[in-house]
Structure 1
């Protein structure tokens, strides 16, 4: 009994202190009289995320609740961390562009020492981000993308052949799974010169690793929230965000490929080769002088990791949603195909980089897909210094997290009337000019927008052209309409898959 009394004597004060600590944490916004969404441990304002609800569904509810209340931003809680949800498009423009230097960083967790793959361009901060962004930007020039386009075309032929068995057997095709194999092979080749053979083998080890990264379970989701809430503490403790088996696999791929190329004096025009130049010379442009500032092997692997996983999943998501919308709207599918055939006729039936640039209606189709189904439904920034908001009247402190609800803005009926309708004519030049410049943000905006945007768009457009020029698509009854988003997915993934019927034209 004496031991029990001692334990209770020590434990009860700790429980009481923890209770008041949590209570104070979740009183942050009410203490400042800021309109907010209440929070509770461990997910803050995102209760049920990853199990019952997708992240964007919770953000949509917050947006709808407060968008017409006259405030430009509201408070909420990401885990234990007080955060701001921005509702006003003018304020979004200030954060992303006009006042960028005050919101330069994303506030993501990274740990260069213990979790090297987490320290990539998307997450790193300050001058190191600026250095890498400047050095890596030439990777995605038109000239570099045009060179990689031949690789995309070769893999595109295999992509088209994959549909033959569905045509012959009259079976529906899961286009998300096929799109993933296509983009996995494209990124694997353009990034590392590797033949993933996902299309031939109906999957690959690289794809399995990708699913582990991009479809975390509830426990890993809560762990991510913890790391975001206690970034400095987590770094000091050496906590990792990326699973150890993923780090081991990916570091092994990068290191062995670099060693093989350097030992055998092999050079390829791919992303890894450019990173190797940056590692060895501090520059990726042949006409520039070598720089004293280079990157490490760990930094090289981290950037390759980002390029693969960001490009693999976002591009396949956009491509599969585009195919679904074209299958569900046969008049738009016909109009898109007519433009494709008309322009390809000028190029003797060859899909070229220049031909894609001429397909203006296809561009509208892709933009409308990204409007209705943005792969990344939310943008994040942190205040790098104190920043005053006037409505509500609050001062953001350094390190304060700011979130921009891209998915909610894209589905706002006051910006896009009848937002559930798929209408590429929303993106005619006149329609775009009539809207706010920051009402369409699939790739973010400002100096920290998506560095691989042009490559991703080329990949998606090519996939559509390659398939639509030869095949007709319609929605199979196996697809649950309206589409239901899988709550477990980091990006937008459809529960049950996107199943389309395929026939040759």
Structure 2
């Protein structure tokens, strides 16, 4: 009887109060008479994410329901867990958020915990003055001079990338180009970032690639954890929760600390990303001519930025490169046209792929941009309001701390912006075509002061990979590739289920 009384007088009222609290939370947009996607426990408007739907697919469903049908022309309310957030798709409003009123939306609202989860405190996630300091200090990493030096490293790895297709040509077996692209970018980033010889191409994989899968394919439970961390950042920080798995943190911290220790002990100097971070740690600057500063960074900061540079560059670049190869295999006329341009430019440059030669390949850039339009590695952008921000159209206030989401994938596939959007057509990015479109209908790298800092490096890496392969190989689609392509809901980036299998032959 005592237990029953406890259940009746304590537990049931508590559950009722919890139910009413949750129900009240999910009335936020209804109370404001604002169009919204209904939310429910536990993930708000994102139930099924990571198991049934990709994050991008859920936002695209909202885009199709509200923007494309005319129910709402600028934005739609959603719920991230219990928290109201705003899905914005009006291009002028997006420009305001990313560029014109950047100071009102300078942070992404991602979880990071410098004390308990040091690798999470990287440039993509950190906020405020520390972000501004690191962004300013690291921007010189991607000047033309430093890029030219890194290009020499990319070129050294290029021959091995080309030769790894030999066995598929000889055996007449299809190649999974996503896996091969990952090995290539893993070796490039490993060398350019840390001076490490990952040998992924030679050994058909590396430990860093295994670690990469843990980062970008977190599984249902870790997906739920990441969702919780973003939804309840303050509570998660107080509880000391970690976004990065402990074994990943230990492995990567050991790699960075051992490499830094070896270089400092033996006075080893390399012109790579880690060397610049070491200069920032020891001198507070990455430029040789600048005076030393008292504002330096810690070893944990070094490891966090190296972690971001490696994994973001390795995975996003391989995604872009493999999708470009797929689209070229599916559109042989485009592949032939690109090959003609590559051969013409190389003939004028002594037959060598150089940094300058790649800059002359304008059709190549159109091919890559059209690939990034159809298959943006990051299908959405996220910002949070640093202060209350009043919108007049639509008539609503974005409250301080409220998240704003920009559905990049949906905008890139909007038929009112890009006619027949599923068709691969590099001519969309001819200069005259670009000029007549809105400046913010193409956002693969974001925009404004918080755009992708490694954008130029990523483009260089993909350009070289395509020039090296297309100049000497011909790609066609193998029947193992499942068409139409299906997004892998378990991946945090846009990745295809079942792989991208292509047949390869020599030109």
- With normalisation by structure 2, the TM-score equals 0.99
- Which of 444, 452, 455 is the equivalent residue of 1:453? 455
Distance apart, 1:107 and its partner CA: 0.5
TM superposition shift of 1:392: 2.7
Q: How far, CA to CA, are the matches of 2:83 and 2:228 in structure 1?
A: 9
- 1:7, distance to aligned residue in structure 2 (A): 4.5
> Which residue in the other structure is 2:22 paired with?
22
- Alignment partner, residue 354 of structure 1: 356
Per-residue CA deviations over 1:303-345 (Å, capped at 9, x if unaligned) read 0000011000000000000000000000000000000000001
Deviation at 1:6, TM superposition (A): 2.4
User: What pairs with 1:296-375 in structure 2 (closer than 5 Å)?
Assistant: 296-375=298-377
CA distance in 1, matches of 2:39, 2:86: 13
Shift in Å, 1:191: 0.4
State the partner residue of 1:253: 255
Preserved contact between residue 73 and residue 391 of structure 1 (Cα < 8 Å): no
Which aligned pairs between 1:130-209 and structure 2 lie closer than 5 A?
130-209=132-211
How much does 1:69 deviate?
2.7
Partner Cα distance (2:5, 2:165) in 1: 71
Q: For residue 55 of structure 1, what is the aligned residue in structure 2?
A: 55
Deviation at residue 391 of structure 1 after TM alignment? 2.7
What is the CA deviation profile of residues 276-297 of structure 1, one whole-angstrom value per residue up to 9, with x for unaligned ones? 0000000000000000000000
- Gaps in structure 2 of 5+ consecutive residues: none
Asked if structure 2 preserves the Cα contact closer than 8 Å seen for 1:121 and 1:303, the reply is yes
Residue of structure 2 equivalent to 1:94? 96
CA–CA distance in structure 2, aligned partners of residues 299 and 371 of structure 1: 33
CA distance in 2, matches of 1:209, 1:444: 26
2:495 equivalent to 1:490: no
The answer as to whether partners of 1:42 and 1:222 remain within 8 angstroms in 2 is: no
C-alpha distance in 2, partners of 1:3/1:410?
58
Work out whether 1:481 is the aligned partner of 2:495: no
- What is the Cα deviation at residue 4 of structure 1? 4.2
CA distance in 1, matches of 2:304, 2:34: 39
In structure 2, the residue corresponding to 1:388 is in which secondary structure?
Answer: strand
Separation in 1, partners of 2:3, 2:430:
76
Q: Distance in 2 between matches of 1:128 and 1:4?
A: 54
Count residues in correspondence: 505
- C-alpha separation between the residues in 2 aligned to 1:78 and 1:10? 30
1:43 alignment partner in structure 2 = 43
- Residue 380 of structure 1 contacts residue 404 of structure 1 at CA under 8 Å; is this kept in 2? yes
Distance 1:9 1:160 in 2: 72
Supply the distance in 2 between the matched residues of 1:157 and 1:109 (Cα, whole angstroms).
40
1:231 matches 2:244:
no
Unaligned stretches of 5+ residues in structure 1: none
SS in 2 for 1:488: coil
Q: CA deviation at 1:210?
A: 0.4
Q: Conserved in 2, the CA contact under 8 Å of 1:71 and 1:391?
A: no
CA contact (8 A) 1:185 1:198 kept: yes
Kindly state the Cα deviation for residue 8 of structure 1 after the two structures are TM-superposed: 4.6
Q: Distance in 2 between matches of 1:198 and 1:5?
A: 64
- Separation in structure 2 between the aligned mates of residue 231 and residue 54 of structure 1, nearest angstrom: 22
Does the Cα contact within 8 Å between 2:35 and 2:72 map onto a contact in 1? no
Distance in 1 separating the partners of 2:71 and 2:171: 55
